[in-house]
Structure 1
């Protein structure tokens, strides 16, 4: 949903503070892209605040500052300390809007912003399955009533927010986007000249499901098909070891390559025919969008966040979550029917170009932020309801 632009706010450029985890996750990536775009466009003044984690890399933080972004860090070792520190920062920086990305940052960020008297707060939910308990869900519902907007990074995430009891009138979907220029050469890599291989780009974690893909590869071997599989990504060592163990058990050592962190994903994707996202849940999977932009024929698990991105039979194939046999059937279709794979890959690329550019995503966010109430209300409550779960 695109909110009509209302023009620059009276009295100067609107200051927007983005609060997100310092773990440099997908949510961090989106927040950083928003800051870059807003700084370049000049209609908003972005501030990036990271909740410090053990994995926060000082070199990455400095790299963002070297790009001209205003970046601050707040402690992350205790929620109460995070809220106190962010509140003090808001009081000093006086943002007009605080946009809090991800869980639990959207709870902590909105609570701190409201305590500091920030005129408007916005939640950005990046996943369709979060670890809400009764208390955190109650806080989220109370904070939602005091928020200007609740953004889901896909229609599936927006529907999840509504199903959790958030006000539907406040929820919008702004699909994530990617930098398409990285895949400009995709048309120079025709399907017939690509390796008939499979790529999955995802961290090794509880959310992702490399094991089902590996089992599907084992079933394909029984059918006389042995395509190479490239697994790109790092993550939790125990999940990676489990995948390596399953590869050995199924006798797939010669087919499966564990690439770890891969510096040039566009080149890898454009060299292969098929992209797979085997997963248990998603928000808006950037890796899938990259596979589409690269012109790969795509297969993905039918879970919230993926549904609506791939249209079955037109831009890709969907299989039930955790169903290795169904995934093997889908992959066999693509491996044996080159015309189908080529058609799906071309359609997926066109969909990525027309609907998932980072420029379109940025414009939608900027329109939303410029449409939010004027900063003259800095010392007014952003909503009539006084409830705020301690906010």
Structure 2
């Protein structure tokens, strides 16, 4: 195993007692340090079983699994699981334990001192966007689904494991919460650089989250193990193509984040400004409306000429609501929000909710053109480097 490989599966199989056919058959793959590998496939294909064999929640029947060069079957199962973070739907929190106790459970088992555990709990709550003073003493039932999931991620990170296993971690949340949790987790991953195995049945989620994606068929047989870009550009066979589904060009919008494109700009005005000031501003520019912001530059509403009344002293409470997206959201997220907005555009905000720019359909079309040109450049490079080699034979890491 090279230094760059964190997890290696070598001809791993699982056969349950009483069943002739294996649930998982001869799966081999290597997972590099710091990448998110997503296992995706139809229900019952064995993707969760494959993942659970890595920390021996399910014991493999054959083959070898190495984590950081060590054969997991030679390690104590309990000690192994304390070294690997594990996140499931709704966090899997113990309902009778407080948030702080849930997060500090593994460090306590590892013999950490109380003060160190308390510091770690507060650090992780800050990291996942939950104020310790407000949340550490709450019980799981006092949290929303999204908050429970954040606590589940914090608990998995408590002992700072190099490897995390995530079993459909955002699947039980509503679409808006799921998008926010995905974006938050990608933000954390930029800082933490964990090695992550992520199971999902949602191919759009796989594209958004994965460094590489393993499309699995029956018995976890790997149909294609590739980058999201290559999967969309060159499915290995008809089965993979059917699983990707229609709209591959639209799915490519999940490959690029808003903070990687050039956003437009809005005319900003504080809510304390007068209607007369708005009229002067609109007369001097090409905009149809101004964007009102508070003292922290957080967007509030779009205000146009029709929203201005003769008796108004300022801009508070008037105009159309603003649709916002985080800068770490994907272009697909932006398009989805754009289609439901009141004005056909979305306002981009940073982690603190402050204004960063505006994305409209022109921005998206420009980004799509850039992605197409980049794809053509890659294809030309492949042809020049390996004449006669089909594009789907080329593999790489993002």
TM-score bracket for the superposition, by shorter chain length: under 0.3
Which one has the largest radius of gyration?
2
| TM-score normalised by length of structure 1 | 0.27
Provide the TM-score with structure 2 as the length reference.
0.27
